[in-house]
Structure 1
Amino acid sequence: MGRGCRGISSLINRLAIEPELPVELLQLNQETLQAIRNLENGVGVHRVNTIDELKRDLGW
């Protein structure tokens, strides 16, 4: 079992005993905060005007 699976199992076991999310999961890291700021400021955001345009961009 990989570390990710063990981590999830550990979280599930912890939630069974203490039914609230650990504070560590609620704290955003710097990378996430920067991604949110970029999104809010339109940095790296690609917009489309129609559903057809979106489908074309997605290759549908």
Structure 2
Amino acid sequence: MVYESGRLKDFLPPLYQLWKDLPDPWENVHYDLTTEQQPDGTWKHKYDNKPHTH
């Protein structure tokens, strides 16, 4: 729980970018937000999730 709370600043902005232009916010859109640690110690999303388009 502490780890997840500490990562909100890295997690919420990308999540917002994925959903901000979705016409129906109740639509269930699936993205994989799995992260992986890079050799320099930073974290990034494992998959390049593109914003949902209709």
Tell me, yes or no, whether TM beats 0.5.
Answer: no
Q: TM-score, normalised on structure 1? A: 0.27
Compare relative contact order (CA 8 Å, sep 6+) and give the higher one, 1 or 2. 2
Query: Radius of gyration: which is bigger?
Result: 1
Q: TM-score, normalised on structure 2? A: 0.28
Query: Going by fraction, where is helix more abundant, 1 or 2?
Result: 1
